[in-house]
């Protein structure tokens, strides 16, 4: 790895390479090696690795079929980089991630698995740009490894064409080390997630949520409005329970909350509809109303239809959302 020569750990770190089947459909990636991994020069062979092996066994997966690696190939440690200049472990980790990322992306690009199980927040962030593992644990993300590598190498990906057959699913789960630190209740969940990852790697089509964004700036907004209306009518006719949420902002100088988004979803249809009311305007650095008259009449009708329907609704924050909606409709 040529980036190693720029790494602060170049004389200290023991490089633990990824291992496994380079044609694997399922890859598992962690953060960086630990003490035992350094000693044996293999990923996931310490306490986390033993738990990982047990989870694999319970999920009916043979480790030999997997590709297993880490974002960083070295264990971060406090090191002296110049006279009187020490890097903390955290800083060393940041530098390792920065240096090792190219190798990490290249490897995954080469293997091109269909599913990557990401252990913990670090690989999740490096692969998807998303941070919180607690929020995203178990939620499937779709990434394009070709695009990630191209972007990383500084290519312009403005007109990138996504190819369905090249997409990879990232399934973030809690790190085994987290379970070992007193969260054993997640053990059966991890087993179940690995079974799911195995099924998707074998070709199963995962159920995904569809999102319909109804906003003045989207392409073919009239068609999107038709689509949103057709879904809504169906959910109402079938009396499906709905999840409802409202977003508001205090930005823009006024002391009153400005209503920016109305969203609702049907779990049954795995579909969510987000209707934008005000849109952020870069020029004026404020929220603006940009619907035209005819469209706004339709948008309003749609929101009213949902609000006045008899379907049971679960609000994200009833106490806040309902008074806000009421004020909004009174105002109209
Ligand atoms: N933790 C990781 O993230 N990776 C390993 O290889 C071992 C422990």
Q: What is the pLDDT of residues 6-51, one digit of tens each?
A: 787 777 778 999 999 999 999 999 999 999 999 999 999 999 999 9
- Name which of 21-30, 69-78, 172-181 the model is least confident about: 69-78
Q: Which two tokens stand for residue 230?
A: 């057709």
With b meaning 16 or more CB within 10 Å and e meaning fewer, what string describes 211-228?
ebbbbbeeeebeebbeeb
Q: What's the whole-model pTM score?
A: 0.71
Q: Which two tokens stand for residue 184?
A: 């054993």
Atom of ligand 1 nearest to the CA of 119: 3
For ligand 1, say whether the CB of 37 is within 6 Å of any of its atoms.
yes
pLDDT band for position 303 (cuts 50, 70, 90): very high
For ligand 1, say whether the CB of 172 is within 6 Å of any of its atoms.
no
Residue 9: C-alpha distances to residues 13, 75, 93 (Å): 5, 9, 10
pLDDT band for position 285 (cuts 50, 70, 90): confident
For ligand 1, say whether the CB of 18 is within 6 Å of any of its atoms.
no
Q: How far is the CA of 206 from the centre of ligand 1 (A)?
A: 27
Question: What is the residue whose two structure tokens read 């990879």?
Answer: 168
Q: Which two tokens stand for residue 23?
A: 């044609």
């Amino acid at each position: 790895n040529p980036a190693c020569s720029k790494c602060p750990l170049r004389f200290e770190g023991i490089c633990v390479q990824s291992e496994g089947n380079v044609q694997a459909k399922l890859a598992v990636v962690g953060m960086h090696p630990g003490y035992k991994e350094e000693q044996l020069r293999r990923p996931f062979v310490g306490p986390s690795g033993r738990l990982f092996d047990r989870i694999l066994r319970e999920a009916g997966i043979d480790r030999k079929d997997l590709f297993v690696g880490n974002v960083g190939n070295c264990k971060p440690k406090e090191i002296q980089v110049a006279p009187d200049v020490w890097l903390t472990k955290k800083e060393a980790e940041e530098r390792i991630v920065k240096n090792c990322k190219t190798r990490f992306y290249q490897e995954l690009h080469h293997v091109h698995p269909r599913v990557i199980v990401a252990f913990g927040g670090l690989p999740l962030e490096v692969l998807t740009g998303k941070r919180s593992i607690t929020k995203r644990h178990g939620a499937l993300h779709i990434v394009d490894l070709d695009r990630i590598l191209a972007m990383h190498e500084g290519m312009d990906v403005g007109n990138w064409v996504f190819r369905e057959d090249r997409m990879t699913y990232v399934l973030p789960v809690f790190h085994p080390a987290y379970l070992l630190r007193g969260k054993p209740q997640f053990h059966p969940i991890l087993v179940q997630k690995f079974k799911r990852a195995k099924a998707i790697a074998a070709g199963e089509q995962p159920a995904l949520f569809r999102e319909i964004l109804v906003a003045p700036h989207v392409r073919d907004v009239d068609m999107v409005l038709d689509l949103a209306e057709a879904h809504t009518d169906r959910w109402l006719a079938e009396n499906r329970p709905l999840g409802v949420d409202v977003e508001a902002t205090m930005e823009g100088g006024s002391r009153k909350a400005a209503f920016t988004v109305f969203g609702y979803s049907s779990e049954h249809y795995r579909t969510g509809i987000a209707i934008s009311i005000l849109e952020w305007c870069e020029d004026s650095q404020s929220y603006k109303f940009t619907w035209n008259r005819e469209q706004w009449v339709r948008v309003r009708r749609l929101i009213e239809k949902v609000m006045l329907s008899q379907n049971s609704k679960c609000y994200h924050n009833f106490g806040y959302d309902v008074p806000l909606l009421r004020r909004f409709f009174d105002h109209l």
